[in-house]
C-alpha cells in the first residue's frame, strides 16, 4: 500500500521533471552556444570544453563607437516613457468608465472592447504614413504618443483590467470624499490609485515585457544607430560582408533577456496577486 502511494507521487513528479528538461533544452543550448566559437557551433556537445567567456566582453563592445550599455540606456528611456504614458492613460480612462456617468458610456466601452479583436497589422501603414508626415520617424514619439492617447499595445486589455478592479471599490468612498470637498481627480489620485495598486503593477509588468520585446515596432520607426535599442543592436552582428560572430551574438541576446527574467522573478508575487484579484473581482 505504501509503495503504491509512493509510486503515485513519484511518477507524476518524474514525468514533470522530464518534460521540464525537454522544454528547457533550447535554453541550455542557448547558454552553451554563447560560450562557443564559430568553429564549435556545429558540435553536438551542449557545452564547449573550453568556454569562450570573452564572447560577452567582446560582444559588449562589438559595435564601433558604441557599447551595449548605450543601447540598454536607450531601451530604458523608451520603456520608461511607454510605462508612464500607458499607466496614466489607461488608469484615467478606466476611472472614467467605472466611476463617471456620461452619455453613451456603455456603447463606448463596448467599442473599446471590440478593438481587442483589431489586429495590430491593420493600423501599421496608416500610422507610419501619419508619423512620417509629422516628422516623428527616428524619434521615440511614435511609442509615447499612441500610448498616451490610447494605451498603445494592449491598451484596451489594460483598461478592461483596471475597470474590473475599480468597479469593485465601494462607491461610498467617492461620496465620502465629495463631502470632504475632494474633486473627481482627487478621488482618482488619492483613493482609487492606491486601492488598485496590484492591477497597476500587473499592467506595468505586461507593458514592460511586451514593449521590451517589440522588435518590429522599434525597427520600423528607429533608423539611426545612436537611438537603437538592444533588440535593434543585435541585428548589427549580421551583415552580408563578413562572417557572423555567432558566439557574441548569442551572448548579447542572452544578456538582453536579463531585465525580463528579473522582472518575472522579482514581481511575480504582485503579478499573481493582480491577475487573481482581477479574476475574482471581475
Give 54-86 pLDDT, tens digit per residue: 999 999 998 888 999 999 999 999 999 999 999
Residue 266 within a domain: yes
Q: Which CATH number fits the domain that encloses residue 225?
A: 1.10.3720.10
The CA-CA-CA angle for residues 68, 70, 74, to 5°, reads 115
Residue 217 within a domain: yes
Residue 163 within a domain: yes
- How far from the centroid of its chain's Cα atoms is residue 107's Cα? 30
Q: What is the mean pLDDT of residues 98-124?
A: 87
Cβ distance 97 to 105 under 8 Å?
yes
Tell me how far apart the alpha carbons of residues 273 and 210 are, in angstroms, rounded to a whole number. 20
Residue 54 within a domain: no
Confidence of residue 281 (pLDDT cuts 50, 70, 90): very low
Residue 25 within a domain: no
pLDDT digits (tens, 9 = 90+) for 194-213: 999 888 988 998 889 888 88
**Residue in the structure block whose three cell numbers are 468608465:** 97
- Report whether pLDDT(282) > 50: no
Computed on alpha carbons and rounded to an integer, the radius of gyration of the chain in Å comes to: 24
Alpha-carbon distances of 31 from 41, 48, 257, rounded to whole Å: 12, 10, 12
Residue 20 within a domain: no
Residue 48 within a domain: no
How many domains are contained in the chain? 1
**Domain span holding position 161:** 67-281
What's the first-to-final CA gap in the chain, in angstroms? 45
pLDDT digits (tens, 9 = 90+) for 134-189: 999 999 999 998 888 766 667 888 999 899 889 888 888 888 988 888 899 999 99
Count the neighbouring beta carbons within 10 Å of the beta carbon of residue 178.
13
Residue 248 within a domain: yes
Amino acid at each position: 500500500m505504501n509503495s503504491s502511494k509512493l509510486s503515485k507521487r513519484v511518477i507524476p513528479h518524474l514525468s514533470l521533471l522530464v518534460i521540464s528538461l525537454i522544454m528547457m533544452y533550447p535554453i541550455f543550448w542557448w547558454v552553451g552556444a554563447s560560450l562557443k566559437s564559430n568553429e564549435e557551433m556545429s558540435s553536438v556537445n551542449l557545452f564547449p570544453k573550453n568556454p569562450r567567456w570573452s564572447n560577452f566582453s567582446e560582444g559588449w563592445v562589438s559595435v564601433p563607437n558604441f557599447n551595449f550599455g548605450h543601447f540598454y540606456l536607450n531601451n530604458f528611456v523608451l520603456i520608461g516613457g511607454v510605462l508612464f504614458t500607458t499607466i496614466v492613460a489607461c488608469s484615467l480612462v478606466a476611472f472614467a468608465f467605472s466611476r463617471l456617468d456620461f452619455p453613451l458610456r456603455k456603447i463606448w466601452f463596448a467599442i473599446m472592447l471590440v478593438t481587442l479583436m483589431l489586429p495590430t497589422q491593420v493600423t501599421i501603414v496608416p500610422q507610419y504614413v501619419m508619423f512620417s508626415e509629422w516628422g516623428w520617424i527616428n524619434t521615440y514619439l511614435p511609442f509615447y504618443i499612441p500610448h498616451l492617447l490610447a494605451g498603445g499595445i494592449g491598451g484596451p486589455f489594460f483598461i478592461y483590467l483596471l475597470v474590473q478592479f475599480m468597479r469593485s471599490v465601494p462607491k461610498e468612498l467617492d461620496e465620502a470624499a465629495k463631502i470632504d470637498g475632494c474633486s473627481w481627480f482627487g478621488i482618482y489620485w488619492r483613493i482609487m490609485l492606491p486601492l488598485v495598486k496590484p492591477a497597476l503593477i500587473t499592467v506595468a509588468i505586461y507593458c514592460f515585457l511586451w514593449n521590451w520585446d517589440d522588435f518590429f515596432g522599434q525597427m520600423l520607426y528607429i533608423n539611426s544607430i545612436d537611438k537603437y535599442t538592444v533588440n535593434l543592436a543585435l541585428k548589427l552582428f549580421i551583415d552580408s560582408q563578413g562572417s557572423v560572430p555567432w558566439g557574441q551574438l548569442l551572448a548579447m541576446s542572452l544578456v538582453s533577456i536579463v531585465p525580463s527574467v528579473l522582472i518575472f522573478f522579482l514581481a511575480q508575487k504582485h503579478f499573481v496577486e493582480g491577475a487573481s484579484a482581477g479574476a475574482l473581482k471581475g
